[in-house]
Amino acid sequence: MSGGGGVLRRRINRFWTTVAALAVIYALVRWGIPVASRQITGMPFPLPVPGALVFIYMTLAVVALAILVTFSDEHLDEFVRPVKAFLRGEHGRLPRTVVLVAVPLLVGWQVWGVTAPEVAVPAALRIQHPSSNFPKSFETLKNPLANPSDADVQAFVEQAKANAVAFIPQVAADVKRWREANADKHPLDFIPTAPMKKFVAALKAGAVDPQTGRAALVEKYLFEGRALYAMNCRACHGDSTGGDGPMADGFKLRPINFTDSGTIETIVEGYTFWRVTNGGPGLPTEATPWDSAMPEWKLSLTEGERWKIILAEYDLAQKTPRIPEQH
Ligand code: HEC
């Protein structure tokens, strides 16, 4: 065996076997592992080794080979022999000059790349709440649906008496289907909450006071708002309003968790309305560099629909909006 080793050593120098070993290890880590992973997992794509891990493997390989090379004086002599021969110009002066110029240039380029100052995002807290471009007129805005006017309540009571309560088109089909299947019940039993039950009982007794009518109308708005929320917001903000909808994990800037007390509870309703209306594109420059996926709802929802959703949003999250300060 030692004879064979001797023959091999005379043929290929230790310097070149070391270089070849490094190249083979790199190829294995870089391409071998992904190909093998694909075979093992049976997935239609390879699993690449992360750059940081490639760096660790290569550092370990260099350390191991350095130990091997410096194992004895004999090994080290053999390793540096071709290097010394090259530097003495035994392989020609031109290649030596090229290498002696190229190596410092390459090292210098690397150092420059690591240390040169770059244009970077200034370190600052991201501001996503009322700031520069927030129109002050929104600050005192109140949700008109939270406290319907006497005229609206009156109209609703009249509709209820005539069994002709109008629902938004998005839910009308569901309401119609329910009524067909529940012909024996009062049409408004469709919304089985306590204020609505009280209202239906008062209707049957023929004595509806404005407070009961108003509470029932708000229940109807809440029902419609919940449906609109499910259609438009749930995918991102979730059933629970916890910012955990099925699409939420896809966004680097996660959809807001409304149940967190640091979110919609800390802003006035008018601001929530402005935020829903203008979405990510309407945010001030301080809110960048992150891109918010929040859509600009003024493009696809009417003002009334937006207020209904906001009514339902606070209700679902069991939060109340901030009360505007008195100055
Ligand atoms: C495509 C995903 C997506 C959809 C759909 C979506 N949102 Fe958002 N929403 C976000 C993201 C992401 C944020 C966080 C943005 C940020 O912090 O700038 C956000 C933020 C908000 C905020 C700001 C809360 C705060 O404290 O400032 C409100 C309010 C809001 N969304 C309401 C809604 C409503 C109402 C709907 C449905 C009409 C909706 N969102 C639909 C992704 C979405």
- Give a yes or no: residue 264 inside a domain: yes
The reply to whether 129 falls in a domain is: no
Is 173 inside a domain boundary? yes
Atom of ligand 1 nearest to the CA of 262: 26
Which is nearest to 162 in space by CA: 184, 186, 181, 189? 186
Q: Are residues 43 and 98 both part of a single domain?
A: yes
255 touches ligand 1 (CB under 6 Å):
yes
pLDDT band per the 50, 70, 90 thresholds, residue 288: low
Q: Which of 292, 294, 319 to mutate to test the pocket of ligand 1 (most atoms within 8 A of CB)?
A: 294
Query: pLDDT at residue 309 above 90?
Result: yes
Residues 92 and 181 in one domain: no
Do 80 and 191 belong to one domain?
A: no
- 81 with 192, same domain: the answer is no
If asked whether residues 23 and 87 sit together in one domain, one would say yes
Residue 278, ligand 1, Cβ within 6 A: no
Give the count of beta carbons closer than 10 Å to the beta carbon of residue 114. 7
- Cβ of 311 closer than 6 Å to ligand 1, yes or no, is no
Task: Give the integer Cα–Cα distance in Å for 236 and 182.
Answer: 34
- DSSP string covering 184-234: TS-GGGGS--HHHHHHHHHHHHT---HHHHHHHHHHHHHHHHHHHHHHHTH
Q: What is the distance between the alpha carbons of residues 190 and 178, in angstroms, rounded to a whole number?
A: 7
Q: How far is the CA of 285 from the centre of ligand 1 (A)?
A: 17
Same structural domain for residues 97 and 177?
no
Answer yes or no: do 78 and 8 share one domain.
yes
Q: What is the pLDDT of residue 6?
A: 52
The reply to whether 205 falls in a domain is yes
Give φ, ψ of 273 to 5 degrees.
Answer: -60, -45
Q: 280 alpha carbon to ligand 1 midpoint, in Å? A: 8
Which residue from 249, 256, 306, 307 has its CB within 8 A of the most atoms of ligand 1, so it is best to mutate? 256
Enter the tokens of residue 207. Answer: 């004595």
* Torsion angle of the four alpha carbons 305, 311, 317, 322, in this order, in degrees rounded to the nearest 10: 120
Tell me, yes or no, whether 74 and 173 share the same domain.
no
Q: Containing domain of residue 81, as a range?
A: 2-110
pLDDT at residue 30 above 90?
A: yes
Instruction: Give the mean pLDDT of 70-90.
Output: 92
> Do the domain assignments include residue 322?
no
Q: Decide: 263 in ligand 1 pocket, CB within 6 A.
A: yes
**Structural domains counted in the chain:** 2
Tell which of 110, 144, 163 closes a domain: 110
Same domain, 150 and 103: no
Average pLDDT, whole number, for the chain?
89
User: Tokens 């029902």 appear where?
Assistant: 223
Using CA atoms, how far apart are residues 322 and 130, in angstroms rounded to an integer? 13
Give the whole-angstrom CA distance, residue 246 versus residue 126. 25
Distances (CA, A) of 164 to 30, 158, 167, 186, 250: 70, 8, 9, 11, 43
Average pLDDT over residues 19-45: 92
Instruction: Indicate whether residue 309 lines ligand 1 (CB < 6 A).
Output: yes
Same domain, 97 and 246: no
- Residue 249, in any domain of the structure: yes
**Nearest Cα to Cα of residue 218 among 153, 292, 122:** 153
Instruction: Summarize the confidence of residues 237-250 as an average pLDDT.
Output: 93
Q: What is the pLDDT of residue 1?
A: 42
Residue that finishes a domain, picked among 72, 93, 110: 110
Residue of the CA atom closest to atom 8 of ligand 1 = 294
H-helix or E-strand spanning residue 82: helix 73-87
- Which of 131, 222, 228, 237 has most ligand 1 atoms within 8 Å of its beta carbon, as the pocket-test mutant? 237
Q: Is the CB of 220 under 6 A from ligand 1?
A: no
| Cα 165 to Cα 253: distance, rounded to the nearest angstrom | 41
Which token pair is 273? Answer: 């309305």
The per-residue pLDDT for range 100-140, each reduced to its tens digit, is 999 999 999 999 999 988 876 656 566 666 566 677 788 88
Its pTM stands at 0.65
Taking 50 as the threshold, does the pLDDT of residue 2 lie above it?
A: no
Output the pLDDT for position 132: 64
Q: Which of 92, 110, 128 is the last residue of a domain?
A: 110
Q: How far is the CA of 291 from the centre of ligand 1 (A)?
A: 12
Mark whether 37 and 159 lie in a shared domain.
no
Q: How many CA atoms lie within 13 A of 176 on its CB side?
A: 8
Residue 106 lies in a domain: yes
| Alpha carbon of 228 to ligand 1 centroid (Å) | 14
Question: Would the CB of 128 count as within 6 Å of ligand 1?
Answer: yes
Whether residues 214 and 80 fall in one domain = no
Within-domain flag for 324: no
Burial 211-241, CB ≥16 within 10 A → b, else e: ebbbbbbbbbbbbbbbbbbeebbbebbbeeb
